Structure 1
Amino acid sequence: MATLAVENSAIPLLRAAVGDDRLQTTPEALAYFASDVYRCGGLPIGVVRPATVDSLQEVVRICAATKTVMVPRGGGASYTDGYIRTEGGHLLIDTGALDSIEIDEFNAVVTCGAGVTWSALKAALDAKGLRTPFWGPFSGIAATVGGSMSQNSLSHGSTAHGISAQSVLSMDVVLANAELMSTCSSKATRFYGPDLTGLFTGDCGIFGIKARIRLPLLPVQPRFECLSYAFESFADYHAASRKAAMARLDDSHFGLDLALSQGQIGRQEGMGARLKIASDVLRKAPNKLKGVAQLVQMALAGENAMRAGAYMCHYIVNGFDQSEVGHKARLLRRILSDHGREIANSIPTFVHSVPFAPLFNVLGPNGERWVPIHGVFAHDQVVPFHAAFKALIASHQAEMDRLGVWLGTMFSPVSGSGSLYEIALYWPDARTEYHDTTLADEYLAQQPSFAANPEARAFVDTLKEAMVALMQDYGASHFQLGRAYPFQSRLSTTQASLLRAIKTELDPNGLMNPGALGF
């Protein structure tokens, strides 16, 4: 339950600086902004939404003068307490109105405000036949570029180009003293001396608030082919996906277990959504005849593609012409066929057609609450972790069944060097202000609702912590650290001292998102 907000001298100054329409202090607004996908925290004193970088600097200047804690928020899809403070009493800075997009085609750079969503950026670049190397997580309809840089994320483009942090050239960051600092003095390259840009990737906003981000541009490869493979064991899946990731033949790929494939990922949202997917498949197909053939294949496959194996992996291959795509797909099939069998490619075709789906998955397929947990493992650790994870779940299965808790798993390469293992937990429980505000009333009316279930909620929290601890036993690292994953305990004395010194230099009063990353 959210704690009460406290009076703060910054509010009248902020109202005078940004206006009533840019500052929210109503109980309803504060309750919503005190919630993320997973839990509720203490109430902020207010929510400010600056529309310009100058306005953001003025907000920070007022907070610095009044010693007001500042917590930045991007698209709001965090589930790791990235912008949630148990104590409350902070100013939440909603960066969503920093939504400018400046495309420099000649220099192959796009500069966007921190609040630009990946979906909006893709639409602007599509019009010019351009893209960024990494081009967004699956939640890109809401997830912002600034949020991805603060939290680190992967999905679209990650196999070929790595995670979000690997696709940024530089940033403009508002520091705790309101100074606007660029992380690189060169607009041509990120690596002009020590990499200051990297310091602000994955920092959860503890070093400053991102205002603008510069990303490199690539031409869109207009042709594509989707492949799907089924595997009878996780070891088979991992062997295939590791080799495929190292070959870098596809733009992105992801794996699902049977539970997640049939549940959250596999569900259809009614006839309107199916018609939209069909329309997009036809529109994006290399030619109309091939598009019709693809739709026929998908219709014949029905739900079989969701049930084809214990583990399934889905690939999207891009190229400049059909010859290039076909060559890449043939090479990929050689790698994958040693470990699995090809199945209907319905799921990656859906994802290619609708890369940024609505945020329906912030609830389970039957209206349950949802929270994911993930770890990034070295290749020699992920299969042993999988076995240990299965044993952990077996030891809790009776209690999970009693409380109606279930789970599914999703997997993805992290370039060629490691594997992301993501666990999605579901349990029956009441929705929060976050869900009721994020999801449309029409959608919620079609979903079952549950009474508050503190017993199941507490069990899920305990199980989640046990999973994170197990991941640590196998050397996992994490993205989207927020306040949920261990960080400082993994640092050496020298590393911790260096980061504390940087934090002190940039934020001497500890006003920038205190508590995140353990600072």
Structure 2
Amino acid sequence: MTGNKKQAELTEQLGKLLGKQGLLTNVDDLQYYANDVYRSGGLPLAVAKPLSAEQVQAVVRLCAAAGVAIVPRGGGASYTDAYLYPDGGHILFDLGALDDIQIDSANLLVTVGAGTSWAKLKEALDAEKLRTPFWGPFSGLAATVGGSMSQNTVSHGSAAHGVSAHSALSMEVVLANGDLINSSAAGSTRFYGPDLTGLFTGDCGAFGLKTAITLPLIRTLDHCEPLSFAFDDFESYHAAVRIAQAERLDDSHFGLDLALSQGQIGRQEGLAARLKIAAEVMRKAPRKLQGLAQLMRMAVAGEDPMRSGAYMCHFIVEGFDPADAAAKARRLRHLLADVGREIANSMPTFVRAMPFAPLTNILGPGGERWVPVHGILNHDKVVAFNTAFHALVQDRQPEMDRLGVWLGTMFSPAGPAGFLYEIALYWPDHRSSYHRQTLGEEHLGNIPGFQENAEAREYANSLKESIIALLQNFGAAHFQIGRAYPYLTRLDSRALGLVKAVKQELDPEGLMNPGALGL
């Protein structure tokens, strides 16, 4: 049977299994799914949208029999080619319908479908006054629990509880032959013998399709002290972050340079967004007068906090009661007094009130295209990397200015020790179908647009590759590896052999997200 006949037969079988709503073959749909935030890949043969783990297994078995590549997609906010298969002709799995949430309050566990967004999970757990230790990235309106476990990510809860993978206890995974396995022999712990759950964290779907994840639960803390500090140089900023990570007083924190603080991150989306933030501040304040006082301080501060220093760091400190939160905040102020200065806390107050922002930041503040590049560095390498990075930028600046390419940096804790250094690149270019469908014409009509700009795009990509190479020179690790970051080359020969043996055991035909992790 020829390849075209096999594909046609597979599509027919999938249509019978999933129905019209469960299988997308329209060219416009396929073109949308062939894009991530950054760029385009090969056109899928079809997009499968199964309704259950059993349907996932059935679709995988049909793909395996036809020898067609199987590629998973989470919330779609990837920018590392994680679900872009260059060859095309694959079946892309959209598992958004797997969004069931089972809360086990007695055992302090929650099991969620892999397609559950972090925002939906938070809403369900808020009603029980519970949360997961890590509770989502800033993109949690779209980002799914399964996608975050496959890619690894940071943000809410990372300072106190680590990255997304630290909060996974067990996973149900469909392998390349359609078998369903559970990664843990006991639901309440992932450490019953060798850590098989860890095998599927950060795998970018190369080892299997996650259908359900079990996470631990902890009580929410209603009392919060948002704190912000400004620093005149990177060395002082980094010293403050290292102090904060050692103390672990805050639930989460993030840092911004002046370019991002005033531009992409600091940008407000008009009166409606500000009123929504104000309403959330009041709703979440334990006492209404306290909430009103916070709003008044924010109004007086205006945008000044966005311009208070070359670098700014924003902390969210939580406590059992106001005294507990205040004591932690006092300790943090004392520790950072010699390296920075406290400024108005508008930014962390915004984030506390609206932790999951709309995906408007997938374009720059002036409508530019955007892609981030990151690395996780040991603290003793951070300042040296920053110096080398700025030297690279200085050398490139004339050409960047000519092409309208610019950048900014932001930072975050990556577990108890790692320092995540993230560079956001912007360049003038046309929008893809991903941007148009995700943001909508109404939003796009209010920001500048650009014609296709292949020269600027290619330069931005070359700059991205140079930054990745520089990060590698400083021993950086990466989350969201996808097809963008090196992985196999960093392993010694025995570790490399082990990873390849696992891939061979779980996916002997190499059909599961081929090329992810370099496999």
Spell out structure 1 runs of 4+ moving beyond 6 A.
none
Distance in structure 2 (CA, Å) of the matches to 1:257 and 1:69: 41
What residue is the counterpart of 2:35 in the other structure? 35
Distance in structure 1 (CA, Å) of the matches to 2:176 and 2:122: 31
Q: Aligned letter for 1:13? A: Q
Query: How many Å apart are 1:440 and its aligned residue?
Result: 2.2
Structure 2: tracts of 5 or more residues without a match: none
Q: Aligned letter for 1:299? A: A
What residue is the counterpart of 1:224 in the other structure? 224
- 3-state SS of the aligned residue for 1:79? coil
What residue is the counterpart of 1:161 in the other structure? 161
What residue is the counterpart of 2:87 in the other structure? 87
Q: Is 1:137–1:154's contact at 8 Å kept on the other side of the alignment?
A: yes
Is 1:390 the counterpart of 2:416 in the alignment?
no
Distance in structure 2 (CA, Å) of the matches to 1:248 and 1:286: 24
| 1:8–1:206 CA distance, 2 compared to 1 (3 A) | farther
RMSD of aligned residue pairs (Cα, Å): 1.1
State the identity as a percent.
61
Q: Is 2:146–2:210's contact at 8 Å kept on the other side of the alignment?
A: yes
Alignment of 1:402-417 (within 5 A): 402-417=402-417
Question: TM-score by structure 1 length?
Answer: 0.98
Distance in structure 2 (CA, Å) of the matches to 1:338 and 1:112: 44
Name which of structure 1's ranges 202-211 and 434-443 shifts more when overlaid on structure 2: 434-443
Question: TM-score by structure 2 length?
Answer: 0.98
What residue is the counterpart of 1:468 in the other structure? 468
Distance in structure 1 (CA, Å) of the matches to 2:384 and 2:149: 31
Distance in structure 1 (CA, Å) of the matches to 2:226 and 2:270: 23
Name which of structure 1's ranges 371-380 and 289-298 shifts more when overlaid on structure 2: 289-298
What residue is the counterpart of 2:253 in the other structure? 253
Distance in structure 1 (CA, Å) of the matches to 2:21 and 2:313: 47
Alignment of 1:187-198 (within 5 A): 187-198=187-198
Structure 1: tracts of 5 or more residues without a match: none
Query: How many Å apart are 1:20 and its aligned residue?
Result: 1.1
Q: Aligned letter for 1:286? A: P
- 3-state SS of the aligned residue for 1:356? coil
What residue is the counterpart of 1:131 in the other structure? 131
Query: How many Å apart are 1:337 and its aligned residue?
Result: 1.1
Is 1:505 the counterpart of 2:499 in the alignment?
no
Distance in structure 2 (CA, Å) of the matches to 1:10 and 1:337: 64
Q: Aligned letter for 2:239? A: A
Query: How many Å apart are 1:153 and its aligned residue?
Result: 0.2
Distance in structure 2 (CA, Å) of the matches to 1:15 and 1:164: 35
Distance in structure 2 (CA, Å) of the matches to 1:365 and 1:393: 21
- 3-state SS of the aligned residue for 1:429? coil
Query: How many Å apart are 1:286 and its aligned residue?
Result: 2.1
- 3-state SS of the aligned residue for 2:92? strand
Q: Aligned letter for 2:321? A: D
Query: How many Å apart are 1:7 and its aligned residue?
Result: 4.3
Distance in structure 1 (CA, Å) of the matches to 2:246 and 2:233: 20
Alignment of 1:95-114 (within 5 A): 95-114=95-114
Alignment of 1:51-450 (within 5 A): 51-450=51-450
**Number of residue pairs the alignment of both structures matches:** 516
Distance in structure 2 (CA, Å) of the matches to 1:196 and 1:7: 34
Provide, for residues 6-35 of structure 1, a one-character-per-residue CA deviation record: whole Å limited to 9, x for no partner. 944311110111111100000100000000
- 3-state SS of the aligned residue for 1:12? helix
- 3-state SS of the aligned residue for 2:96? helix
- 3-state SS of the aligned residue for 1:171? strand
Q: Is 1:139–1:359's contact at 8 Å kept on the other side of the alignment?
A: yes
Is 1:484 the counterpart of 2:484 in the alignment?
yes
- 3-state SS of the aligned residue for 1:244? helix
Query: How many Å apart are 1:312 and its aligned residue?
Result: 0.2
Distance in structure 1 (CA, Å) of the matches to 2:518 and 2:416: 29
Q: Is 2:7–2:66's contact at 8 Å kept on the other side of the alignment?
A: no
Provide, for residues 136-194 of structure 1, a one-character-per-residue CA deviation record: whole Å limited to 9, x for no partner. 00000000000000000010000000000000000000001111100001012110000
